[in-house]
Amino acid sequence: MNKSERLNDLMLFLNDKNSFNLKDLMERYTISKSTALRDVRSLEEMGMPLFSQSGRNGYFGLLQNRLLSPIVFDTDEVFALYFSMITLRAYETTPFHLSIEKLKRKFEKCLSAEKVATLHKIEKVFSLGSTQQKNHCHFLKDILHFALEEKVCDIKYQKNNAIHQHTIQFFNISAAYGQWYATGCHVETGHTHVFRCDKVLDVKENFVYPSRPVADFIKSPAILYKNPGATDFEVMVSKKGADIFQKEHYPSMTLCLNDETFTIRGFYNIGEENFIAAYFLGYGDTILSIQPAPLKKLILDKLNVYTTYLSNL
Protein backbone atom coordinates (compact mmCIF):
# COMPACT_ATOMS: atom_id res chain seq x y z
CA MET A 1 0.00 0.00 0.00
CA ASN A 2 1.14 3.58 -0.60
CA LYS A 3 1.87 6.06 2.18
CA SER A 4 -1.58 7.71 2.26
CA GLU A 5 -3.31 4.30 2.45
CA ARG A 6 -0.88 3.20 5.16
CA LEU A 7 -1.47 6.33 7.25
CA ASN A 8 -5.23 5.96 7.00
CA ASP A 9 -5.01 2.31 8.09
CA LEU A 10 -2.54 3.27 10.80
CA MET A 11 -4.98 5.76 12.34
CA LEU A 12 -7.62 3.05 12.53
CA PHE A 13 -5.10 0.57 13.95
CA LEU A 14 -3.97 2.95 16.71
CA ASN A 15 -7.36 4.46 17.54
CA ASP A 16 -8.20 2.05 20.39
CA LYS A 17 -4.65 1.68 21.69
CA ASN A 18 -3.01 3.47 24.59
CA SER A 19 0.56 2.94 23.40
CA PHE A 20 2.68 1.38 20.67
CA ASN A 21 6.31 1.14 19.60
CA LEU A 22 8.07 1.33 16.26
CA LYS A 23 8.43 -2.44 16.11
CA ASP A 24 4.61 -2.75 16.01
CA LEU A 25 4.48 -0.58 12.90
CA MET A 26 7.50 -2.19 11.26
CA GLU A 27 6.01 -5.68 11.60
CA ARG A 28 2.45 -4.72 10.63
CA TYR A 29 3.42 -2.84 7.47
CA THR A 30 6.79 -4.45 6.64
CA ILE A 31 8.56 -1.08 6.71
CA SER A 32 11.92 0.13 7.97
CA LYS A 33 12.51 1.93 11.26
CA SER A 34 13.12 5.24 9.46
CA THR A 35 9.84 4.88 7.50
CA ALA A 36 7.99 4.10 10.73
CA LEU A 37 9.43 7.25 12.33
CA ARG A 38 8.36 9.34 9.35
CA ASP A 39 4.85 7.90 9.59
CA VAL A 40 4.68 8.82 13.28
CA ARG A 41 5.72 12.39 12.45
CA SER A 42 3.05 12.51 9.72
CA LEU A 43 0.42 11.40 12.22
CA GLU A 44 1.45 14.18 14.62
CA GLU A 45 1.21 16.72 11.81
CA MET A 46 -2.31 15.44 11.03
CA GLY A 47 -3.36 16.12 14.63
CA MET A 48 -3.10 12.75 16.35
CA PRO A 49 -2.22 13.54 20.01
CA LEU A 50 0.95 11.47 20.49
CA PHE A 51 3.72 11.68 23.08
CA SER A 52 6.96 9.71 23.35
CA GLN A 53 8.52 7.96 26.34
CA SER A 54 12.28 7.59 25.86
CA GLY A 55 14.55 4.96 27.41
CA ARG A 56 15.32 1.29 26.98
CA ASN A 57 11.62 0.38 27.07
CA GLY A 58 10.52 3.51 25.27
CA TYR A 59 7.21 3.75 23.47
CA PHE A 60 4.76 6.18 21.91
CA GLY A 61 1.56 6.94 23.82
CA LEU A 62 -1.80 8.41 22.90
CA LEU A 63 -3.53 10.91 25.17
CA GLN A 64 -6.40 9.31 27.08
CA ASN A 65 -8.80 12.22 26.68
CA ARG A 66 -8.33 12.48 22.93
CA LEU A 67 -11.13 12.76 20.43
CA LEU A 68 -11.51 10.00 17.88
CA SER A 69 -8.57 10.02 15.53
CA PRO A 70 -9.14 11.66 12.15
CA ILE A 71 -9.78 9.42 9.17
CA VAL A 72 -9.03 10.49 5.63
CA PHE A 73 -12.02 10.35 3.26
CA ASP A 74 -12.17 11.36 -0.38
CA THR A 75 -14.86 13.80 -1.56
CA ASP A 76 -17.34 11.15 -2.70
CA GLU A 77 -17.03 9.34 0.64
CA VAL A 78 -17.65 12.57 2.58
CA PHE A 79 -20.69 13.37 0.46
CA ALA A 80 -22.08 9.84 0.95
CA LEU A 81 -21.62 10.06 4.74
CA TYR A 82 -23.13 13.55 4.80
CA PHE A 83 -26.34 12.57 3.04
CA SER A 84 -26.64 9.29 4.95
CA MET A 85 -26.40 11.32 8.15
CA ILE A 86 -29.13 13.81 7.30
CA THR A 87 -31.65 11.00 6.66
CA LEU A 88 -31.76 10.75 10.48
CA ARG A 89 -33.80 13.97 10.39
CA ALA A 90 -36.81 11.78 9.60
CA TYR A 91 -36.65 10.16 13.04
CA GLU A 92 -38.10 11.75 16.13
CA THR A 93 -35.81 9.53 18.22
CA THR A 94 -32.38 8.03 17.62
CA PRO A 95 -30.31 5.90 20.00
CA PHE A 96 -27.60 8.56 19.96
CA HIS A 97 -27.46 11.95 21.64
CA LEU A 98 -26.78 14.05 18.60
CA SER A 99 -27.78 17.18 16.76
CA ILE A 100 -27.93 16.76 13.00
CA GLU A 101 -27.28 20.47 12.50
CA LYS A 102 -24.21 20.29 14.75
CA LEU A 103 -22.90 17.30 12.83
CA LYS A 104 -23.48 19.16 9.58
CA ARG A 105 -21.41 22.09 10.81
CA LYS A 106 -18.58 19.71 11.80
CA PHE A 107 -18.61 18.16 8.34
CA GLU A 108 -18.54 21.57 6.72
CA LYS A 109 -15.58 22.74 8.82
CA CYS A 110 -13.54 19.90 7.33
CA LEU A 111 -14.23 21.03 3.76
CA SER A 112 -13.24 23.94 1.61
CA ALA A 113 -15.76 26.71 0.95
CA GLU A 114 -16.12 25.41 -2.59
CA LYS A 115 -16.97 21.89 -1.40
CA VAL A 116 -19.44 23.23 1.19
CA ALA A 117 -21.20 25.23 -1.54
CA THR A 118 -21.40 22.05 -3.63
CA LEU A 119 -22.90 20.15 -0.68
CA HIS A 120 -25.58 22.79 -0.23
CA LYS A 121 -26.45 22.68 -3.93
CA ILE A 122 -26.72 18.89 -3.86
CA GLU A 123 -28.93 19.07 -0.77
CA LYS A 124 -31.42 21.20 -2.69
CA VAL A 125 -31.79 18.78 -5.60
CA PHE A 126 -31.02 15.39 -4.02
CA SER A 127 -32.80 13.56 -1.23
CA LEU A 128 -32.97 10.01 0.09
CA GLY A 129 -36.47 8.72 0.62
CA SER A 130 -37.59 8.08 4.18
CA THR A 131 -40.85 7.92 6.09
CA GLN A 132 -41.26 10.57 8.74
CA GLN A 133 -41.28 9.17 12.25
CA LYS A 134 -43.31 11.09 14.81
CA ASN A 135 -43.57 8.65 17.72
CA HIS A 136 -41.04 9.21 20.48
CA CYS A 137 -39.19 6.10 21.69
CA HIS A 138 -38.23 6.81 25.29
CA PHE A 139 -36.21 3.63 25.79
CA LEU A 140 -34.53 3.22 22.40
CA LYS A 141 -31.06 3.89 23.77
CA ASP A 142 -31.65 1.47 26.67
CA ILE A 143 -32.77 -1.26 24.27
CA LEU A 144 -29.64 -0.76 22.18
CA HIS A 145 -27.50 -0.88 25.34
CA PHE A 146 -29.03 -4.18 26.49
CA ALA A 147 -28.61 -5.67 23.00
CA LEU A 148 -24.94 -4.64 22.81
CA GLU A 149 -24.23 -5.85 26.35
CA GLU A 150 -26.08 -9.14 25.67
CA LYS A 151 -28.26 -8.70 28.75
CA VAL A 152 -31.74 -9.98 29.55
CA CYS A 153 -34.30 -7.33 30.48
CA ASP A 154 -37.88 -7.00 31.74
CA ILE A 155 -40.08 -4.73 29.66
CA LYS A 156 -43.54 -3.24 29.91
CA TYR A 157 -45.19 -3.20 26.49
CA GLN A 158 -48.43 -1.59 25.37
CA LYS A 159 -50.51 -3.57 22.88
CA ASN A 160 -54.21 -3.26 22.09
CA ASN A 161 -54.72 -0.78 24.93
CA ALA A 162 -53.31 -3.24 27.48
CA ILE A 163 -49.92 -3.37 29.21
CA HIS A 164 -48.01 -6.65 29.00
CA GLN A 165 -44.89 -7.82 30.85
CA HIS A 166 -42.13 -9.64 28.93
CA THR A 167 -38.68 -10.95 29.78
CA ILE A 168 -36.62 -10.48 26.63
CA GLN A 169 -33.09 -10.58 25.30
CA PHE A 170 -32.93 -8.09 22.44
CA PHE A 171 -30.58 -8.84 19.57
CA ASN A 172 -31.63 -6.53 16.73
CA ILE A 173 -32.82 -2.92 16.38
CA SER A 174 -34.04 -1.73 13.01
CA ALA A 175 -35.87 1.18 11.41
CA ALA A 176 -38.59 0.62 8.81
CA TYR A 177 -41.59 2.53 7.51
CA GLY A 178 -41.02 5.40 9.93
CA GLN A 179 -40.82 3.22 13.04
CA TRP A 180 -38.10 1.75 15.24
CA TYR A 181 -38.42 -1.99 15.87
CA ALA A 182 -36.58 -4.20 18.37
CA THR A 183 -36.37 -7.94 17.90
CA GLY A 184 -35.80 -10.15 20.89
CA CYS A 185 -36.09 -13.68 22.22
CA HIS A 186 -38.63 -14.38 24.95
CA VAL A 187 -36.42 -16.19 27.45
CA GLU A 188 -39.24 -18.27 28.96
CA THR A 189 -40.70 -19.59 25.69
CA GLY A 190 -37.75 -19.27 23.31
CA HIS A 191 -40.00 -17.55 20.77
CA THR A 192 -38.84 -14.51 18.81
CA HIS A 193 -40.90 -11.31 19.05
CA VAL A 194 -40.73 -7.98 17.24
CA PHE A 195 -41.64 -4.92 19.32
CA ARG A 196 -42.40 -1.38 18.22
CA CYS A 197 -40.02 0.68 20.31
CA ASP A 198 -42.46 3.55 20.89
CA LYS A 199 -44.79 1.03 22.60
CA VAL A 200 -42.14 0.04 25.16
CA LEU A 201 -43.08 1.76 28.43
CA ASP A 202 -40.22 0.57 30.66
CA VAL A 203 -37.00 -1.46 30.45
CA LYS A 204 -35.04 -2.88 33.38
CA GLU A 205 -32.24 -5.41 33.59
CA ASN A 206 -33.25 -8.91 34.64
CA PHE A 207 -30.74 -10.63 36.92
CA VAL A 208 -32.52 -13.99 37.12
CA TYR A 209 -32.18 -15.44 33.64
CA PRO A 210 -28.77 -16.04 32.02
CA SER A 211 -28.12 -14.30 28.72
CA ARG A 212 -26.89 -15.82 25.46
CA PRO A 213 -24.38 -14.59 22.87
CA VAL A 214 -26.03 -12.50 20.15
CA ALA A 215 -24.50 -14.87 17.59
CA ASP A 216 -26.97 -17.54 18.80
CA PHE A 217 -29.85 -15.50 17.36
CA ILE A 218 -28.42 -14.91 13.89
CA LYS A 219 -30.67 -17.37 12.06
CA SER A 220 -32.99 -17.42 9.08
CA PRO A 221 -36.47 -15.83 9.51
CA ALA A 222 -38.10 -19.26 9.19
CA ILE A 223 -36.19 -20.43 12.26
CA LEU A 224 -36.49 -17.18 14.22
CA TYR A 225 -40.13 -16.28 13.64
CA LYS A 226 -41.98 -19.46 12.61
CA ASN A 227 -43.88 -21.09 15.48
CA PRO A 228 -45.48 -24.55 15.60
CA GLY A 229 -48.79 -24.51 13.73
CA ALA A 230 -47.76 -21.68 11.38
CA THR A 231 -49.44 -21.50 7.96
CA ASP A 232 -47.49 -21.16 4.72
CA PHE A 233 -48.91 -18.92 2.01
CA GLU A 234 -48.30 -18.02 -1.64
CA VAL A 235 -49.74 -14.87 -3.16
CA MET A 236 -49.16 -14.27 -6.88
CA VAL A 237 -49.02 -10.58 -7.81
CA SER A 238 -48.45 -8.39 -10.86
CA LYS A 239 -45.36 -6.27 -11.47
CA LYS A 240 -47.13 -3.41 -9.68
CA GLY A 241 -47.70 -5.73 -6.73
CA ALA A 242 -43.99 -6.56 -6.69
CA ASP A 243 -43.29 -2.82 -6.40
CA ILE A 244 -45.64 -2.64 -3.40
CA PHE A 245 -43.75 -5.54 -1.81
CA GLN A 246 -40.43 -3.74 -2.20
CA LYS A 247 -41.83 -0.70 -0.39
CA GLU A 248 -43.16 -2.64 2.59
CA HIS A 249 -42.82 -6.25 3.64
CA TYR A 250 -41.83 -8.31 6.66
CA PRO A 251 -39.05 -10.80 7.50
CA SER A 252 -41.43 -13.74 7.17
CA MET A 253 -41.94 -12.97 3.44
CA THR A 254 -39.86 -13.32 0.29
CA LEU A 255 -40.56 -12.27 -3.31
CA CYS A 256 -39.83 -14.93 -5.93
CA LEU A 257 -39.67 -14.44 -9.69
CA ASN A 258 -40.39 -17.49 -11.85
CA ASP A 259 -41.08 -17.24 -15.60
CA GLU A 260 -41.94 -13.55 -15.26
CA THR A 261 -44.43 -14.36 -12.50
CA PHE A 262 -44.08 -12.67 -9.10
CA THR A 263 -44.99 -14.74 -6.06
CA ILE A 264 -44.86 -13.62 -2.42
CA ARG A 265 -44.09 -16.64 -0.24
CA GLY A 266 -44.09 -16.70 3.52
CA PHE A 267 -45.90 -17.82 6.64
CA TYR A 268 -48.04 -16.47 9.45
CA ASN A 269 -48.33 -17.79 12.97
CA ILE A 270 -51.51 -18.62 14.85
CA GLY A 271 -53.14 -15.33 15.85
CA GLU A 272 -51.58 -13.36 12.97
CA GLU A 273 -54.29 -14.19 10.42
CA ASN A 274 -56.03 -10.80 10.58
CA PHE A 275 -52.75 -8.94 10.40
CA ILE A 276 -51.60 -10.76 7.26
CA ALA A 277 -55.02 -10.39 5.62
CA ALA A 278 -55.05 -6.65 6.31
CA TYR A 279 -51.53 -6.40 4.86
CA PHE A 280 -52.57 -7.98 1.57
CA LEU A 281 -55.68 -5.78 1.32
CA GLY A 282 -53.24 -3.01 0.47
CA TYR A 283 -52.28 -4.81 -2.75
CA GLY A 284 -55.75 -4.29 -4.23
CA ASP A 285 -56.18 -5.56 -7.80
CA THR A 286 -52.48 -6.39 -8.15
CA ILE A 287 -53.22 -9.79 -6.55
CA LEU A 288 -53.64 -12.60 -9.11
CA SER A 289 -54.10 -15.62 -6.83
CA ILE A 290 -54.03 -16.52 -3.13
CA GLN A 291 -53.14 -19.75 -1.36
CA PRO A 292 -54.26 -21.25 1.01
CA ALA A 293 -58.02 -20.99 0.68
CA PRO A 294 -58.67 -19.83 4.31
CA LEU A 295 -56.40 -16.82 3.77
CA LYS A 296 -58.19 -16.00 0.51
CA LYS A 297 -61.57 -16.19 2.25
CA LEU A 298 -60.39 -13.97 5.12
CA ILE A 299 -59.08 -11.32 2.70
CA LEU A 300 -62.33 -11.39 0.69
CA ASP A 301 -64.40 -11.12 3.89
CA LYS A 302 -62.41 -8.08 4.98
CA LEU A 303 -62.79 -6.59 1.52
CA ASN A 304 -66.58 -7.08 1.63
CA VAL A 305 -66.79 -5.44 5.05
CA TYR A 306 -64.76 -2.49 3.80
CA THR A 307 -66.86 -2.19 0.63
CA THR A 308 -70.10 -2.28 2.65
CA TYR A 309 -68.75 0.37 4.99
CA LEU A 310 -67.89 2.68 2.07
CA SER A 311 -71.30 2.19 0.46
CA ASN A 312 -73.01 3.26 3.69
CA LEU A 313 -71.10 6.53 4.01
For residues 95, 99, 101, 102, the Cα torsion angle rounded to the nearest 10 degrees is -120
**Backbone CA torsion sign across 282, 284, 288, 289:** positive
Q: Are 263 and 255 in contact (CB under 8 A)?
A: yes
Q: What pLDDT does 309 receive?
A: 75
Burial class (CB in 10 A: 0-12, 13-18, 19+), 44: middle
Among 45-49, 151-155, 228-232, 239-243, whose mean pLDDT is lowest? 45-49
Mean pLDDT across 57-80: 70
Q: 144-198, pLDDT tens digit by residue? A: 999 999 999 999 999 988 999 999 999 999 887 778 999 999 999 888 889 999 9
CATH of domain 140-218: 2.30.30.520
Q: Could you state, in order of their start, the residue ranges of all structural domains in the chain?
A: 3-62, 75-125, 140-218, 231-311
Q: Under CATH, what is the fold of the domain 231-311?
A: Alpha-Beta Plaits (3.30.70)
CATH of domain 3-62: 1.10.10.10
Q: Are 21 and 60 in contact (CB under 8 A)?
A: yes
More confident residue, 2 or 284: 284
Q: Are 168 and 184 in contact (CB under 8 A)?
A: yes
pLDDT over 70 (residue 97): no
19 vs 53: CA distance, rounded Å: 10
Q: What's the whole-model pTM score?
A: 0.61
Burial class (CB in 10 A: 0-12, 13-18, 19+), 29: middle
